[in-house]
Structure 1
Amino acid sequence: MQVEDLRRLIALAGHERVTDAAAVLRLTQPTLSRLLARVEHELGGRLFERDARGVHLNPNGALALAAARDIVDRYDRLRRDLADVLDPDSGTVRLAFLNSMATSLVPRLLREFRVASPHVRVTLRQAPTHDLLRLLADGTAEHAVLWPRPTGPHGWIPLQRQRLVLAVAPGHRLERRKRVRMAELADDDLVTVPTGFGFRTLVDDLYAADGLVPRVSFESEDLATVEGLAGAGLGVAILPDQQAGTSTVAVPLASAAAQRVVGLTWRSDRDLAPPAARFLDHVRAAGPYG
């Protein structure tokens, strides 16, 4: 049974004559009669009683009519709500991003998009990379700002190349150095994110390239917290340069691998809703963000 069948059932109940209802619905009388017979068969009982004056709802029909009105009303409301959400000029974009992008790249991205599309709403989610990919897969998010570039059916626009730096507390022996080699950190405690995070893998790889294993003192999922702990002298930290310098001193690393490229990704195996497509067009036109 389709929603239009329920609309016709409602019309028939309102007119009580098949001929009149058929005229309003622009159907032939036999077509409407067959539709009624099909609906009654599907629901398992008679809904109307026929007599010389036309058709009249019986108790089963009254129950079906109330349900039909509720279903049609909910369906129409759904269509209106979806139309609002999907309107490219005033709909909604679902954007997810790495926690470390919350105070730097994402605000700049959204500020410029708001200027270009002031009536489009953007809902936000923060998560680590593995959760961002899950949010994209199940449709909770339409776009994600993350690192590294995902494999599989994902589009990709590089947004920002981030240089990784050593973040040390003021007064640390390395704070005035122009460049630091990873080997020089062998005796320092490290504050970093937990194992399993993409950024932790990058940090571990930097140590491993010099034959080192980091001596981790504290772990936090939030890079701002990592920076604060390092600034309190509880260990050094390796951070994107945008995340260092609040309570720490940022010192460049000598390793060429001390960088990451953050980008915007989306599922390329499905169509984007109009507002999300508009957001993508904006990002493409805006180009890299430093």
Structure 2
Amino acid sequence: MPYDSRSAEVSEVVAAIAPLLTQFAAVAREEHITRAAAGMGIPQPTLSRTMARLEADVGVPLLGRTGRGVALTRQGHTLLGYVEQALALLERGLDEVIEDAGEARGKVAFGFLHTMGPEAVPELLRAFRVDHPGIRFQLVQASASVMLERMRAGELDLCLTAPLPDAPDLAVRALDDQRLYLVVPADHRLAGRRRVRLAEAAEDVFVCMEPGYGLRRITDALFAQAGFVPKVAFEGEETETLRGLVAAGLGVALLPAPDTPRPGTVDLTVTAPRAFRTIGLAWMPSRPETAPVRLFREFVLGRRGRLLHPDPAND
């Protein structure tokens, strides 16, 4: 984009006059510098100098003397309209951020893996809102890497993720282990079994999550432990899509159990290597924490071992 010297000049003026605008609005409302100064609790000479500086920075007259008071010039009226809009917008923004931080009606930006959306997270939120019904949530479903990126950018307060990240800027607590199953078509040669070793599927074609997803990193590590590199036919972004591909006979997969059984597939327990992923909670410990975020974080950490298998009697 070409350099716009006029835009740069205007930006400099805005930076210079921004702190003066509330005082300008007060003088405009009162049409009297002394009364405006008294209302703001500042000396009258100080406010007079501020108005003179404002006019000097803008470069046009904004106030005219009328006897013992002042009146806005045409340019002053024009500027006041924008100043009042800007101040009103700022007040609304402050109302929102103050409300977001309030313990009773604040907001939590919470990220979680797609596979936790159907049941685990709704149950978690239901239990939390029994005691905190006014707290609102901004929910984000994404891959582990995307969530951590957004949390570092300040867009998320907390996230449920796997595998557990190892980074010095993050605080991470393990919450629960989720078993992964070898998912095969109903007519697969292993479908009549209950348990298998992963190496028994070494010659099968696999459908997997795309590279970069946390589940893909975990399954690749399991394949390596089992001593083979899988033949991957399809890669996707949703576990239910992968399960559908298995049901269609297009391959086998390593996936967590579905919330609702999928016709045409069979889930087999993997005995070797131990197939699971650890779900954990991550947050930025260096970032100031609002009351709603603290309450929800403590609540989630208190459900360690019950995140994926809640005990209704204890809720």
| TM-score > 0.5 by shorter chain | yes
Provide the residue aligned with 1:253 in structure 2. 270
Mapped partners of 1:166, 1:226: distance in 2: 12
Distance 2:277 2:256 in 1: 8
Q: CA deviation at 1:214?
A: 0.8
The residue identity in structure 1 corresponding to 2:123 is R
The yes-or-no answer on 1:128 pairing with 2:143 is yes
The equivalent position to 1:54 in structure 2, one of 58, 62, 69, is: 69
Shift of residue 229 of structure 1?
A: 2.0
Check the 8 A contact 1:147/1:263 in 2, yes or no.
Answer: yes
Q: Is the 8 A contact 1:145 1:265 kept in 2?
A: yes
Does the 8 A contact of 1:244 with 1:250 survive in 2?
no
Indicate yes or no: 2:159 matched with 1:144.
yes
Are 1:225 and 2:241 matched, yes or no? yes
**Which residue matches 1:264?**
281
Match of 1:280 in 2: 297
Moved over 4 A (4+): 1-4, 242-245
Q: Which string of whole-angstrom CA distances, capped at 9 and with x for unpartnered residues, describes residues 25-65 of structure 1?
A: 23222122122122222222332123543322222222222
Aligned pair 1:8/2:23, yes or no?
yes
Unaligned residue ranges in structure 1 (runs of 5+)? none
Question: Which residue of the other structure, out of 85, 102, 109, is the alignment partner of 1:94?
Answer: 109
Mapping of residues 136-175 of structure 1, within 5 Å: 136-150=151-165, 151-175=167-191
Distance in 2 (alpha carbons) for counterparts of 1:14 and 1:178: 80
Give the structure 2 partner of residue 22 of structure 1: 37
C-alpha separation in 1, matches of 2:234 and 2:169: 36
Equivalence for 1:72: 87
- Cα deviation per residue 1:199-224 (whole Å; 9 max; x = unaligned)? 12222222222331212232221111
Q: CA separation in 2, counterparts of 1:163 and 1:22? A: 69
Question: Which 5+ residue runs of structure 2 have no aligned equivalent?
Answer: 1-15, 310-315
Q: Residues 193 and 268 of structure 2 are in contact (CA less than 8 Å); yes or no, is this contact kept in structure 1?
A: yes
Query: Higher mean Cα deviation, 171-180 or 215-224?
Result: 171-180
- Give CA deviations for 1:48-87 in whole Å, capped at 9, x if unaligned: 1235433222222222222221221111121122223222
Which amino acid in 2 is paired with 1:9?
Answer: F
Aligned residues: 290
**Structure 1 Cα separation of the partners of residues 132 and 66 of structure 2:** 60
SS in 1 for 2:130: helix
SS of alignment partner, residue 103 of structure 2? coil
1:137-174, Cα deviation, whole Å (9 max, x unpaired): 21222111111112231122222201121112224222
- Secondary structure at 2:154's aligned position in 1? coil
For 1:151-230, list aligned pairs within 5 A. 151-230=167-246
TM-score, scaled to structure 1: 0.90
What residue identity is the alignment partner of 1:193?
M
Q: 1:17 to 1:241 in 2, by over 3 A?
A: closer
Shift of 1:261: 0.3
CA RMSD of the aligned region, Å?
Answer: 2.2
